[in-house]
Amino acid sequence: MFSFPTALLSKRTLPLIICSLTLGACASTTGAMQAETNAESNAESYPLSTAVVYQTESKEYPLLSSYIYAQATKALPTSFQPSDVIVMDVDETVLDNSQYQREREQQGLGYSSESWNAWIARKEATAVPGVTDFLNEVVARGGKVALVTNRDKSMDDATWQNLLALGLPLTAENTCVLGRTAQDKTAIDGNTVINDKDLRRSQLKQGTANCSNSTPASKPTWQAQHRLLMQIGDNIEDFEGVTQEHANVDALLPKVGKSLFILPNPMYGSW
């Protein structure tokens, strides 16, 4: 029998040779190897969008983000009143999810609620540049933060654990996590509730916010009326009473850099 020099056999060619010599049914083996080859080819054939490259590789993005948070820090009061609260979005405002975007694009895939929730459950999002120093300063001055996120409320615990894993100075007493519920959408009436975060902002003002991360000790802190001192996000709808379609940039501009702060995010948005 003819023998093949071992040095010439690769882990892929050897199974094929064995199959041909034994005349066995090797369709499954060949199919598995073909699937592996296709997967590798596909991984190489899907380039990243310029938006994801900008967000993950450019120096402009961390520079801008850090600058905006430095400006927000300058706008903070020397000390906070008990009723003051800073309202912040989570995704691309506190947590950087660009790794999720990279992984999906590398597979030639887009957003899906299933993959997004699986990503949240991994708790691997990193901190947006500049946000750690900002939150440290807020807490040092006695401030509180409400994280109004459009992650589903069922994912609030995973969100909270991800935030704590980053070493951010957050506690149930100084932070309220508010994920989105079905009511946030159905409550939109175009009058008092304009976008799907307005209901939760109103609940903060009224002292009825349902903080997912609350404890018995922290509940009294949040069951009080609050004043929205500052709003920070990466989407214009992170601002109270604003929609992408009808946002009045001229009317918002005087507040930007004082009570409104918006971060760059070319990857996705209400636009």
pTM of the complete model: 0.84
What is the distance between the alpha carbons of residues 226 and 203, in angstroms, rounded to a whole number?
9
- Yes or no: say if 103 and 50 are a contact pair by the CB < 8 Å rule: no
- Residues of 137-172 as b/e, b for ≥16 C-beta within 10 angstroms? bbbeeebbbbbbbbbbbebbbbbbebbeebebebeb
Q: Between the CA atoms of 267, 100, 102 and 260, what dihedral angle is there, to the nearest 10 degrees?
A: 30
Q: What is the mean pLDDT of residues 54-81?
A: 98
- Does the pLDDT at position 23 exceed 90? no
Q: 238 φ, ψ to 5°?
A: -80, 0
pLDDT at res. 45: 74
pLDDT at res. 31: 52
Q: Render pLDDT for 28-62 as a digit per residue (tens, 0 to 9).
A: 444 544 544 454 445 457 999 999 999 999 999 99
What is the distance between the alpha carbons of residues 138 and 145, in angstroms, rounded to a whole number?
8
Q: Render pLDDT for 85-128 as a digit per residue (tens, 0 to 9).
A: 999 999 999 999 999 999 999 999 999 999 999 999 999 999 99
In degrees, to the nearest 5, what angle opens at C-alpha 146 toward C-alphas 144 and 150? 165
Q: Render pLDDT for 162-195 as a digit per residue (tens, 0 to 9).
A: 999 999 999 999 999 999 999 999 999 999 999 9
Q: Could you give the C-alpha distances from 50 to 55, 58, 101, 105, in angstroms and in order?
A: 9, 10, 12, 11
What is the distance between the alpha carbons of residues 87 and 149, in angstroms, rounded to a whole number?
10
Question: What's the per-residue H, E or C state across 181-195?
Answer: CHHHHHCCCCCCCCC
What is the distance between the alpha carbons of residues 160 and 144, in angstroms, rounded to a whole number?
15
What is the distance between the alpha carbons of residues 195 and 173, in angstroms, rounded to a whole number?
27
- Residue 146's nearest CA partner among 240, 215, 73, 230 is 230
Average pLDDT, the chain: 89
- Yes or no: say if 88 and 147 are a contact pair by the CB < 8 Å rule: yes
Here the tokens at position 266 are: 């070319």
Q: Render pLDDT for 206-224 as a digit per residue (tens, 0 to 9).
A: 999 999 999 999 999 999 9
Tell me the CA end-to-end span of the chain in Å, nearest whole number.
Answer: 68
What is the distance between the alpha carbons of residues 90 and 146, in angstroms, rounded to a whole number?
10
- Does the pLDDT at position 80 exceed 50? yes
Give the percent of the chain with pLDDT over 70.
84
- Yes or no: say if 80 and 34 are a contact pair by the CB < 8 Å rule: no
- Yes or no: say if 211 and 176 are a contact pair by the CB < 8 Å rule: yes
